A and B are shown apart, each in its own frame.
Chain A
């Protein structure tokens, strides 16, 4: 055999970036941000290095659950257009490698977080990974159209973990930060599912538009958006919300409710006519919505540290 006969399947050779992509970096950025806000607004303080190390552990834990999700969902990812480029369907990383990386990083992140901060935070991180991988990925995702309603809890835990890193406990304020992301997830994903409907149908994932039709989905988006506004408003009664949060709450919830009403009043013919313009802009607005609320909490947290009494204060 000569060199000329060697065929190099170079498209299948994984680079470091392909392994990093297993950790879902975009989801990880949301995890890092919300965990950091939880850590900043919590009463008390930790050493900056411990804070940095803890957020890193939370990010790695989130990434590990992403790798385990990609391992289990490889069959679905191969079918859906949106996910065909992921490392496993692209043939760059094997399912076994993803499983090994996911399990190793899960154990590593939980143990290191426990050693660096406390075991309440580590326990919450372990539960988050378990919830995302076992409850959401393995069970709910393929069995019920309410998959993302309950599964959304997994993405909502990071601010609670960040809070627990500082205080070592779970309070009403940290639970309401969890509830904010939890209630935000359904309208966010259902808006996406409205214009990615065929993708989920092909993969036989029982998303609400596939199982109950788009009319029911539009109704659900409106109801959940109103419930989300109530949840976001409840944070105003806690000591972590201040004037910046109040402003963000008023602006973003007005826009979000208007967007949900617009989607609710449309039908499929109108949506297809303008290529789901309202649904797409609602999806983009949902990203800004969450970012604005947590950024506002962060500013209020920093301002109340600088000027005592800046916060609105609260009964909780």
Chain B
């Protein structure tokens, strides 16, 4: 028989899962944003030089 009524325990587990999902999604967005900024603000002439890596 399927469980039809959610217990408090299920709500807390769901909050953990949703929270972790949002954190991971935010991480992907942040890395994408940082990559965009680094790529667009580094002069092409510097690519491959020490400055580009910094």
Contact = CB atoms under 8 A, between A and B. Distances in A.
A10 B13 CA distance: 11
A307 interface: no
Contacts of B16: 14-16, 19
B46 interface: no
Nearest to B30: A53
Interface residues of A, number: 17
A10 B8 contact: yes
Report whether over half of chain B's contact residues are helix, strand or loop; otherwise say mixed. helix
Contacts of A13: 8-9, 12-13
Residue from B7, B18, B34, B41 whose CB has the most chain A CB atoms within 10 Å: B34
B44 interface: no
A96 interface: no
A263 B37 CA distance: 52
A8 B16 CA distance: 17
A97 B52 CA distance: 38
B15 A16 contact: yes
A10 B37 contact: no
A47 interface: yes
Contact of A49 (B9, B15, B20, B37): B37
Interface of A: 8, 10, 13-17, 19-20, 47, 49-50, 53, 56, 115-116, 118
Contact of B54 (A19, A20, A118): A118
What class of interface size applies to chain B in its complex with A? 10 to 19
Contacts of B7: 8, 10
B8 to A, nearest CB: 5
Contacts, number: 40
A53 B30 CA distance: 8
A20 B15 CA distance: 12
A50 B31 CA distance: 11
Contacts of A15: 11-12, 15-16
A49 B12 contact: no
A122 to B, nearest CB: 12
A16 B19 contact: yes
A222 to B, nearest CB: 46
26 contacts: A8-B7, A13-B8, A13-B9, A13-B12, A14-B12, A14-B16, A15-B15, A16-B15, A16-B16, A16-B18, A16-B19, A16-B20, A17-B15, A19-B16, A19-B19, A47-B41, A49-B33, A49-B34, A49-B37, A50-B34, A50-B37, A53-B30, A53-B33, A53-B34, A116-B34, A118-B54
Contacts of A16: 15-16, 18-20
Contacts of B54: 118
Contacts of B19: 16, 19-20
A96 to B, nearest CB: 16
Nearest to A16: B19
A8 B19 CA distance: 22
Contacts of A56: 30
